Every structure is written in structure tokens, then in C-alpha cells.
Amino acid sequence: MLFDDLHSDALGESRRRDRASKPERALSDREVPLGPPSTTISTAVHAWLDGSTPERDVRRGEWSKDVEFWKRMEDDLAGRRRMRTPAYLNAQIMESIPRHAPQVITPWWRREFVVTPSSAILMMATLMAAASAATALVLRAPR
């Protein structure tokens, strides 16, 4: 079994050396089954689901749990197919849709300028940095 080395420190060095010494296996050798063999559906259940075998023939065997599962699934799906959206909810959805096309978004130079405390601190810090850089340039300039 191969493990991915998720450690960025040197703790996984021994595993890297072991992995490097082993040749790379073919992709088909690495395939992992999705579950134990009992999770596959038998051909009898497939035939019943397709409608070619009666339910009583499938229930006789060891697949009665599969038949029960698919019967419950069909009952649940039938109930969901009969569900309808309530009229009041449909009306609320239709009312929330705007009646007119949305207006064009105003350009940034025409919008209201809002200064939050964090943006004010950021602007002050930027101005202080720019002022100190300009002062340093002026003081070092040749006369």
C-alpha cells in the first residue's frame, strides 16, 4: 500500500527512500474496490428492477433486503413526485422578481465616498510613508 507523504519536514525521509527503491506499479494494480462483495446487486435483482422477473422470485433468495431497499426507495420517490410547491410560495417568488430591468450601476467617481475606521488608518499610514519617503529624497538631494 502506498501512502502520500503530507509532511514537509524531514520526518518522512525514511518513507521517501523506501518508496524510491520500489518500482512504480501499473495503474491497474492500484485500483481499489468500492466495497465488500456484498454491496453488488445480483442479476436477479437487476432483472426484477428491469421488470423481467416477478418480485416473488427475487424475494425467495438472499436478496430480500435489496428488494426491501428498492421498494422503500420507490415509495419515497413516488411521494416526492407528488409534492407540489404551495401557491403562496410561488407567489412570493414571483413578487421578488423585479418588474423592470435593473438600472445601470453608477460609476465609481459618482458614488458616495465612505470612510471606515480601518480605511482611515490605512490612508494615514500610506500618507505617512509617502511623506517620509519624500522627506528622505529631499534631504539626500545634491545641492
* In the chain, alpha helices (H): 13-21, 43-50, 55-59, 64-82, 87-96, 117-140
C-alpha cell at 125: 499610514
pLDDT at 24: 60
Q: Closest Cα partner for 54 from 42, 39, 67?
A: 67
Collapse the DSSP code of 116 into the 3-class scheme (helix H, G, I; strand E, B; otherwise coil) and give the result. coil
Query: Distance between CA 74 and CA 57 in Å, rounded?
Result: 19
The more confidently predicted of residues 41 and 95 is 95
Query: Distance between CA 64 and CA 45 in Å, rounded?
Result: 9
Q: Average pLDDT of 88-101?
A: 89
C-alpha cell at 92: 412570493
Name residue, grid cell 456484498: 38
In this predicted model, what pLDDT tens digit does every residue of 3-62 receive, in sequence order?
A: 555 555 555 555 555 555 555 655 555 666 555 555 567 788 888 888 888 888 888 778
